Amino acid sequence: MTRASRKATIYDIARLSGASPSTVSAALGESWRKRRISESTVEAIRGIAAEQGYSANMQARGLRQARSGLVGMVIPLHDNRFFSSMSQSFEALARDRGMVPVIASSMRDPAEELRIVETLISYAVEYLIIAGAADPDAVTALCRGANLRFIFVDLPGQGAPSVVSDNYKGAADLTRRLLADRAITGTSGKDRLYLLGGDMGDYASARRIEAFRDVLTEAGQPPLPEQIIGCGYAPRRAMQEMAQLCTRIGGLPSGIFVNSLTAFEGVLRHLSGLPLEDVRASVIGCYDYDPFAAYLQFPVHMVRQDAHGLIREAYRMIDENPHDPVLKMVAPEQIAPRTFYDSPFSDRG
Amino acid sequence: MTRASRKATIYDIARLSGASPSTVSAALGESWRKRRISESTVEAIRGIAAEQGYSANMQARGLRQARSGLVGMVIPLHDNRFFSSMSQSFEALARDRGMVPVIASSMRDPAEELRIVETLISYAVEYLIIAGAADPDAVTALCRGANLRFIFVDLPGQGAPSVVSDNYKGAADLTRRLLADRAITGTSGKDRLYLLGGDMGDYASARRIEAFRDVLTEAGQPPLPEQIIGCGYAPRRAMQEMAQLCTRIGGLPSGIFVNSLTAFEGVLRHLSGLPLEDVRASVIGCYDYDPFAAYLQFPVHMVRQDAHGLIREAYRMIDENPHDPVLKMVAPEQIAPRTFYDSPFSDRG
DNA sequence: TCCCGTTGCTGCATCGATTGTGCGGCTTGC
DNA sequence: GCAAGCCGCACAATCGATGCAGCAACGGGA
């Protein structure tokens, strides 16, 4: 730019090129052939535009065309392996279709989540993915009101298109693996399998708990209420609950099913204060995968949720735009202790 | 909305309320007092707006006001503990000042990075933070041309305001810790400290390598060129280089300074195939922190970069808007092996 | 009664890009 | 020689929100 006071507009380019603004607009876009602008004019205009560092004002274009080019996604947290993998896939797929991704995190706060959705609607996002929704019904109402195409991921919405992990199968398989790894009789407080972490109320946890319950029941040891500790996702809270549990039953239980990586952080924190042989006497599973967590001082059975698959299916559903709300399931993957999973982005870092 | 065909506008509200569009605009905003709109009118209009599920069109507002309410940040990757922590802080601080954060990842591709910056400029972001820039000079040129306030984080730009980790100090301290932990003579290929990961060309790695070199030199064992293996950040590549190194020197070296968490993933992958006592004979450090990596089967000296602090300083610099470009340093924190760090978000998950 | 000030609101231009319509000028056909 | 048609472009309306300037109505003071 010769004068850096302001961004160049098509009117500036028009003045400099001697053409009209509409000609400039056409020349810089795709429509110049249709509008019968001569190639020489187009080239001249494009030259000047490049010289001036012109770039279109998307607010003006969006206003006129009633489309913004934005796709939105709401996640609970950035700072989380599962959701940040989703972000990576979401962004890649958005750019593949020439759209600009906008990702916002709600901190699992329903009010914040709603505020974010409203904001994204204000910015006229064309589609919206809501991952791990805190209040799916309110979000559904908002999106319906704004006539916005939206889709839930990880946590489904009532009567809204959703893509979720197959939490039941993932948790059932993990529970079976834990039972197969150690003989657990279920006859004393210590000799039981405990599930720790997650909210009783949220869909994913509910399905996992259901699976946990069913598998234990099949195995002839239906779980007592105190075997299921839905203490949320926060590391600190999980650590406290873990400590309490150990105090209550007088030591580590035979097996622990940890419901998320963040909760596992807290559990690990507790375990790290115990003698290693005690920890190794327990069998430990975690519903989520992390390469470092896979190689701790004790073996951990893990489940890798297919973040990329979830997002891919979400986009597919957006494209197909089904008349009736669909619930699509994506299978998670069981990861044996001490195993590395090759992420699609492991050639980057 | 009574008819969900379209989003309500101030013109719809005006029609329904019998007021004029300008009155509606004022009533829904902050300026109704200044414009002497009566309180009763304001309430009536707000009632109707709420009923209609009205929300302002930010494209129109932004166009008119020449401000978008957006703040942008470019990061190399979402799927990375360091950068996703930045995202979390960036978003929290943006919302604190009533702005909407837009985060994009470049995959460390300079061309993609430039395209993203152009896009963000098109959307009229008001400030831009570029973390881990792949091509700082090109970004600087673009932002200057668009008259945009921008700031580099983690990797500084020439003659542009920047906030970076104190990589020299962090790496020097880490190197010293490694040397203090094991007697390393530096007299044979195996009995040396190796640095692995990062790009020789990028600023952060360059400073760290400089520190590594200086400390080793002080200790009387100036490093050979082959002791510094700048193989990038990708796990797979780091694994291969690690394997090659072991082949070359006939086993694990006495010490390894791993330059990033992602490279450490690859290193771990190699180490996991070796007998544990061999691995434990080496001293291992990683420039980055992860709670699980802190509790592996062997001790790891870690460095935690203050992502939140970096972003906080970046915002501060944006607010202060210094005339001359400044380079602000933020100290990283040394984390002893088997130690947990309490993140500011560890009460969430 | 006239003038002035205040109150409460409306009209209109504007931001930058897009797009339907239209208008000269030149070529072509017969 | 005149109508028809194409070429290459300009004009003006439009998207939704904002904010300046101004207008009608009303009250109060002289």
Asked if A338 and B274 touch (Cβ cutoff 8 Å), the reply is: no
Q: Which residues of B touch A234 (CB under 8 A)?
A: 346-349
Averaged pLDDT for residues A227-233? 95
For A272-312, the DSSP string reads: TTS-HHHHHHSEEEESS--TTGGGBSS-EEEEE--HHHHHH
Query: What percent of chain A lies above the pLDDT cut of 70?
Result: 97
Averaged pLDDT for residues A246-251? 95
Half-sphere exposure of A114 (CA within 13 A, CB side): 11
Please tell me the predicted confidence (pLDDT) of residue B207: 96
Half-sphere exposure of B124 (CA within 13 A, CB side): 25
* Residues composing chain B: 349
Q: Closest by alpha carbon to B167, among B317, B31, B305, B9?
A: B305
Asked if A340 and B272 touch (Cβ cutoff 8 Å), the reply is: yes
Alpha carbon distance B254, B248 (integer Å):
14
Half-sphere exposure of B211 (CA within 13 A, CB side): 20
Asked if B73 and B129 touch (Cβ cutoff 8 Å), the reply is: yes
8-state DSSP, A224: P
The answer to which of A34-38, A188-192, B256-260 has the lowest mean pLDDT is A188-192
Asked if B187 and B181 touch (Cβ cutoff 8 Å), the reply is: no
C1’ C27 / CA A280, Å: 92
Size of interface A-B (CB pairs under 8 A): 209
φ/ψ of residue B324, rounded to 5: -100, 145
Partners of B194 in the β-ladder: B256
Averaged pLDDT for residues A93-119? 97
Write out chain B's pLDDT in tens, 349 residues: 444 467 899 999 999 999 999 999 999 999 999 999 999 999 999 999 999 999 999 999 999 999 999 999 999 999 999 999 999 999 999 999 999 999 999 999 999 999 999 999 999 999 999 999 999 999 999 999 999 999 999 999 999 999 999 999 999 999 999 999 988 887 877 899 999 999 888 899 999 999 999 999 999 999 999 999 999 999 999 999 999 999 999 999 999 999 999 999 999 999 999 999 999 999 999 999 999 999 999 999 999 999 999 999 999 999 998 888 899 999 999 999 999 887 766 666 6
Confidence label for A154 from pLDDT (cuts 50, 70 and 90) = very high
Q: Which nucleotide is nearest to A24 (CA to C1')?
A: C17
CA angle, corner B106, sides to B104 and B108, nearest 5? Answer: 150
CA distances for A91 relative to A94, A124, B99, B116, angstroms: 5, 18, 21, 11
Q: Which residues of A touch B62 (CB under 8 A)?
A: 59
Quick one: CA dihedral B92, B95, B96, B99, positive or negative? positive
Asked if B174 and B304 touch (Cβ cutoff 8 Å), the reply is: no
φ/ψ of residue B152, rounded to 5: -95, 145
Instruction: Tell me what percent of chain B is helix, strand and coil, each rounded to the nearest 5.
Output: 45, 15, 40
Please tell me the predicted confidence (pLDDT) of residue B4: 44
3-class SS at B43?
helix
Q: Best residue in B7, B9, B59 to probe A by mutation, most A CBs within 10 Å?
A: B59
Q: How far apart are the first and last CA of chain A?
A: 36
Query: Helices marked H in B302-349 — which ranges?
Result: 307-320
Residue A104: which of B62, B91, B348 has the nearest Cβ? B91
pTM of the predicted protein model: 0.94
CA distances for A176 relative to A181, A184, A313, B94, B309, angstroms: 9, 11, 28, 45, 44
8-state DSSP, A198: B
- How would you class B185 by CB atoms within 10 Å of its CB: exposed for 0-12, middle for 13-18, buried for 19 or more? exposed
Q: Which amino acid is at B227?
A: Q
Please tell me the predicted confidence (pLDDT) of residue A322: 82
Which secondary-structure segment (H or E) carries A127?
A: strand A127-131
Please tell me the predicted confidence (pLDDT) of residue A345: 63
A10-30 pLDDT tens trace = 999 999 999 999 999 999 999
Please tell me the predicted confidence (pLDDT) of residue B166: 97
3-class SS at B223?
coil
Ramachandran quadrant class, B56 (left: phi over 0; alpha: psi -120 to 50; beta: rest): beta
The answer to which of A148-152, A195-199, A335-339, B186-190 has the lowest mean pLDDT is B186-190
Alpha carbon distance A228, A341 (integer Å):
29
Asked if A74 and A116 touch (Cβ cutoff 8 Å), the reply is: yes
φ/ψ of residue B255, rounded to 5: -150, 145
Query: What percent of chain A lies above the pLDDT cut of 90?
Result: 89
Alpha carbon distance A187, B109 (integer Å):
57
Tell if the CB–CB gap between B4 and A144 is shorter than 8 Å.
yes
Residue B63: which of A59, A123, A290 has the nearest Cβ? A59
Please tell me the predicted confidence (pLDDT) of residue A186: 77
Q: Which residues of A touch B78 (CB under 8 A)?
A: 78, 84-85, 87-88, 91, 103
Number of H helices, E strands in chain B: 13, 12
Which secondary-structure segment (H or E) carries B162?
A: strand B162-165
Please tell me the predicted confidence (pLDDT) of residue A349: 65
3-class SS at A201?
coil
Alpha carbon distance A216, A301 (integer Å):
17
Averaged pLDDT for residues A97-103? 97
Please tell me the predicted confidence (pLDDT) of residue A324: 87
Q: Which residues of B touch A290 (CB under 8 A)?
A: 292
Task: Tell me which protein residue sits closest to nucleotide D10, measuring alpha carbon to C1'.
Answer: A20
Q: Closest by alpha carbon to B19, among B131, A335, B98, B28?
A: B28
Asked if B150 and B129 touch (Cβ cutoff 8 Å), the reply is: yes
CA distances for B273 relative to A138, A195, A247, B268, angstroms: 50, 31, 37, 9
Tokens representing B25 are 């605009």
For A12-27, the DSSP string reads: HHHHHHTS-HHHHHHH
Tokens representing B268 are 């771990």
Residue A84: which of B78, B123, B234 has the nearest Cβ? B78
φ/ψ of residue B258, rounded to 5: -95, 135
Averaged pLDDT for residues A251-276? 95
| Residue with tokens 């799916």, as numbered in its chain | A136
Please tell me the predicted confidence (pLDDT) of residue B3: 42
Tell if the CB–CB gap between A122 and B56 is shorter than 8 Å.
yes
Q: Closest by alpha carbon to A120, among A98, A148, A94?
A: A148
Partners of B255 in the β-ladder: B193, B283
Alpha carbon distance B17, B5 (integer Å):
20
Asked if A247 and A276 touch (Cβ cutoff 8 Å), the reply is: no
CA angle, corner B277, sides to B272 and B278, nearest 5? Answer: 70
| Residue with tokens 């470092």, as numbered in its chain | A292
pLDDT for residue A59 is more than 90: yes
Please tell me the predicted confidence (pLDDT) of residue B2: 41
Alpha carbon distance A137, A331 (integer Å):
25
- Longest Cα separation, chain B: 89
Tell if the CB–CB gap between B265 and A349 is shorter than 8 Å.
yes
- Whether the beta carbon of A37 falls within 7 A of nucleic chain C: the reply is no
3-class SS at B33?
coil
Q: Which amino acid is at B335?
A: I
Alpha carbon distance A127, A160 (integer Å):
14
CA A107 from centre of chain: 12
Among chain B residues, the shortest Cα distance to A237 is held by: B347
| Residue with tokens 């944006």, as numbered in its chain | B318
Please tell me the predicted confidence (pLDDT) of residue B347: 67
- How would you class B112 by CB atoms within 10 Å of its CB: exposed for 0-12, middle for 13-18, buried for 19 or more? middle
φ/ψ of residue B229, rounded to 5: -115, 90
- Whether the beta carbon of B9 falls within 7 A of nucleic chain C: the reply is no
